[in-house]
Each structure stands twice: as C-alpha cells, then as structure tokens.
Amino acid sequence: MPAHPARAANRGRRRTLAANRVSLEGWGWSGVPCTPLWELEAHAQKERPGSQPGNEGRARFGRSPAFRARALWQEMDWEQLELNPRVVAALRKADIKSIKEVLNLSGADLQRLMKLSSADAECLLKTVSHSLRRNCMLTALQLYQDKDHFASQHQKLSLGCSVLDNLLKGGIPLVGITELAGESSAGKTQISLQLCLCVQYPYKYGGLESGAVYVCTEDVFPSKRLQQLIDQQHKLRADVPPEVIQKIRFGNNIFVEHAADLDTFHNCITKRISLLLKRGMVRLVVIDSIAALFRCEFGASDSVLKARYLQMFGAQLHSLSTRFSTPVVCINQVTDAVGESEAAQCGCGSVDNKVTPALGITWANHLLMRLMVSRVSQRDQLSGAVFHHAGNMRTLRVAFAPHLPPSFCCYTVELEGVKGIK
C-alpha cells in the first residue's frame, strides 16, 4: 500500500534535517542542534497562540499583520471580549464564530440578524475592531524618555570589537534588517560568524544571552572556521572573564538551515525560525546570502515577480525582527555600477571600484542599515599609515542608517576573529 501523504512528508522532513545537521562531535562538543526543529514545529501546532512563549514581545510591539490575519479567521471565544452577555448569546444564536464574520456585516445587518439594538451593534463592532488594533503611536521623545520600557530601541548587539562598536554607536540595532554587502573575500561571513558568538554573551558584555540561526543559501556552513573562532574567544574577548566564556556552550546555541530555493526559504522563515524565536531559543537571524536566492530563479523579464518576492520576504523578516526584538543580518553580494549616478545613489562607490549591492531599490527599502565591506587595495595600504597590515586590511563603511552618519573604519580578519584598526 502507498504511504500516507502526511507520513511521507514527515519522513522527507526528517531526511532533509538529517542531511542539514552539522556534526562537530570530533571537536568535543555536540555541534549545531538543528534536529529538534521538526519536533518543535509539530508540538507548536498543539498549543494555543495565547499560551505560547514569546507573546510578551508581541504585546509590547503590537500584533503583526500575520497574527491579525489568523485572528480574523479562527473561531472566537466571545466571552474573552468585554461584551454584554446578551450580545454574546445573540452571537451564538446567529452562529457567528469568527471576527471576520462580524466585520463583514454592517451595523444594520447585525441588528437585523441578531435582533440587537443600534447601540449594541455599534458596541460589538468597536469591541472586535479594538481586539485587532495595534498599540497606539508613540513619539520619538516618548521612546527616548522611557528607556526602561522600550529597551530594544536603545540596546545593541555588540560585534565583539570596541573599534567596530564605536563606528556603529554600540553595535547592530535589535529591531530592523541590517544588510552586510561587499565583494568576495571581504569578510562578510567572518563578521556574521562573530555575531553568532557575540549574541550568546551576557547583556553586560554586549550580548543577548541567546542563540542564533544561520541560513545558508549557496555554500555549506563554515563549521571549521566557527570552531576556530570558539577556541580563540578568550583572546578576542579579553573584556570578558575566562570563567564566563567557559560556561557558554557556543556550538549548542547555533542552528543551521540550508535553503537553496525560494520555497524552502519561505518555509524556513515562516515556520522554523519563527518557532525558535517564540521559544526564546535564538535572538539573531543571519541569512548568507539573500541575493543567491534570486540569482538563478528569475530572468530579466521576471522583474515584477521578483519584486513581489522581495517585498514578501522583506516584510516577513521585518515582522520577525519587530515582534521578537531580534536583529536580522542579511549578507548581500555586489555588482558593478553602470554609472557614477548608480554608485552615488547607494552611497557605496569608491574611486577605484564602483560597486552597488544586488537586488536594487526594492530590497533596499526594507533595510534599516546598510554596511559595505571591501578589501583595501595594496596601493592604498602602502600609501597609508597601516603598512604593517598590508595584504590583509579591509574597510567597514556605513552606507546609510537612520542613527549614523556616513563613516568607515578599517579592520583585519585574524585567527581569533575580526578586529578593528584604530
């Protein structure tokens, strides 16, 4: 007999996750624990949305569009709303079970269908609408003055280097999408791996005391380099006591996913990553790289469809970042700028190498901050005051950010990690 479709799908999911597992047992630690994801996903379907961990973030930042869409359709317990018992009884008698059914009816239709007065019908519409409404708007002054209540607006994720943190005024913002764009071998993956370790440190050392998700879209996960960075943490983070570093099981808190196509990537960010965020297991999402997903999927004539996918993924990633106060770091590739105007528009061109990040303005509109990394030419190194770093120096440049001026600093990639040059 043929296998049941649901069971076949579950077996396929288990095989995929087993293939994606990163085995690091030879290094004496348990590696990247991505196998429990399917179990967490299955368990989450049994839980009610109101009882899931992570709803605290949703209450603080307002309900997301996806949450409101689910609330419209799902069967409602009318006694949870502040409604007159007479109205609740009328709703049940009329067999109205969801908020969408109520909002699709006018006040006059509700009066006629449920035998209610005009005041009761108006009160019902206002109550169900209020249950979906976002939190009230806040001014910038209110956010600044109430730092304790809106800590995520002021807290940053450290890059593990005081020079780089000073450039970014503390590090990566917790809410919003940060893009890290640059040419090959400029250090994008090195910075991302360092962030995956920094997020696990206590708050007092610039971390978030949580794990990270690393989504690979083209290359395999650099597990050997990650182990090197872990072994050298005591050298890179001299500001952290050795006993604190020894207590952190860095490898156990990094989850790896491989998404080579758009459908797999969509399933990854909407189900698996969302599940880890709800359970508080991660506070950093890294995508390496976002451009690889679109490079082979779309031709020149598919620009409209490509823009729709970019808008959808950008909105979903921004929603996850906002709901769970989690920084999203997207690595992007660069292309040669056709003219000076194109390079100047993104603010990332240089005198000798005019490049622009891939995916265009559609993707750029979803970004909070764009950082450009590049290798420094040997001629520029020899003419500067950093001769001893010749052949290994790179630059980190702020292309745009709402809280930072255009600026840059130099850094090197060494065995222990990424280090800024004063």
Kindly report, residue by residue over 80-118, the tens digit of the pLDDT: 788 888 888 888 888 888 888 888 888 888 888 888 898
pTM, rounded to two decimals: 0.67
pLDDT at 363: 94
Task: Quote the tokens at residue 371.
Answer: 């950082």
Domains of the chain are: 1-21+31-45 (no CATH), 62-132 (1.10.150), 144-421 (3.40.50.300)
Nearest by Cα to 287 from 356, 212, 228: 212
pLDDT at 221: 94
pLDDT at 148: 60
pLDDT at 45: 47
pLDDT at 298: 76
77 Ramachandran zone, left/alpha/beta (phi>0; psi -120 to 50): beta
Percent of the chain's residues with pLDDT above 70: 71
Cα-flanking dihedrals φ and ψ of residue 308, to 5°?
-65, -40
pLDDT at 41: 46
pLDDT at 53: 40
Extract the residue ranges of the chain whose pLDDT is less than 50: 5-7, 9-68, 349-352, 382, 385-387, 390
Distances from the Cα of 178 to the Cα of 258, 317, 321, 350, 369, angstroms:
20, 11, 11, 21, 5
